[in-house]
Structure 1
Amino acid sequence: MSRVCQLTGTRANNGMAVSHSHIRTKKLQQANLQQRKLWWAEGNKWINIKVTTRALKTIQKKGLGPYAKSLGINLNKI
């Protein structure tokens, strides 16, 4: 599977590593993805999902169902 958040769609960012002598080389800044088993109250089941830590923080605040609904994600298909 690719390194993409299944809720927000966050993926790697292209960046530059800058050395002390200011030599710039390309690098990828990967998203902080975690594999989690989350309880979905509306569907009354557990969901295995790969999400970023930023999305996990928002899930703790809003809840999994309302957050997925605001993003337009159907949790039945995950």
Structure 2
Amino acid sequence: MSRVCQLTGTRANNGMSVSHSHIRTKKLQQANLQQRRLWWEEENKWINIRVTTRALKTIQKKGLGKYAKSLGVDLNKL
């Protein structure tokens, strides 16, 4: 399974590690993904989904159905 948020599509970011002597090496900054079982109110069922913690905060605020609709994601296909 790839490390991609199933709602937002967030994936790893390229960055640099900078040492004390300012030697720079490449590194990957992975998204903070969590496997969650979320309740989908409109369909009255549970959905297992891999989402970022940022998306979880937005889901708590807006609700799963509204947030997925605003992103154009079909939850039935997940």
Identify the residue that residue 6 of structure 1 maps to in structure 2.
6
TM-score by length of 2: 0.99
- Give the Cα separation in 2 of the matches to 1:15 and 1:43: 40
Q: Which runs of 4+ in 1 moved over 3 A?
A: none
Structure 2 residue runs of 5 or longer lacking an equivalent are none
Identify the residue that residue 38 of structure 2 maps to in structure 1.
38
- Give the Cα separation in 2 of the matches to 1:15 and 1:9: 19
- The SS at the match of 1:27 is strand
* Equivalences for residues 46-61 of structure 1 within 5 A: 46-61=46-61
What CA deviation, in whole Å up to 9, does each residue of 1:8-59 have, x standing for no partner?
Answer: 0000000000000000000000000000000001111000000000000000
Aligned pairs, how many? 78
Identify the residue that residue 26 of structure 1 maps to in structure 2.
26
Q: Cα RMSD between the aligned structures?
A: 0.3
TM-score by length of 1: 0.99
- Give the Cα separation in 1 of the matches to 2:10 and 2:19: 27
- Give the Cα separation in 2 of the matches to 1:47 and 1:8: 16
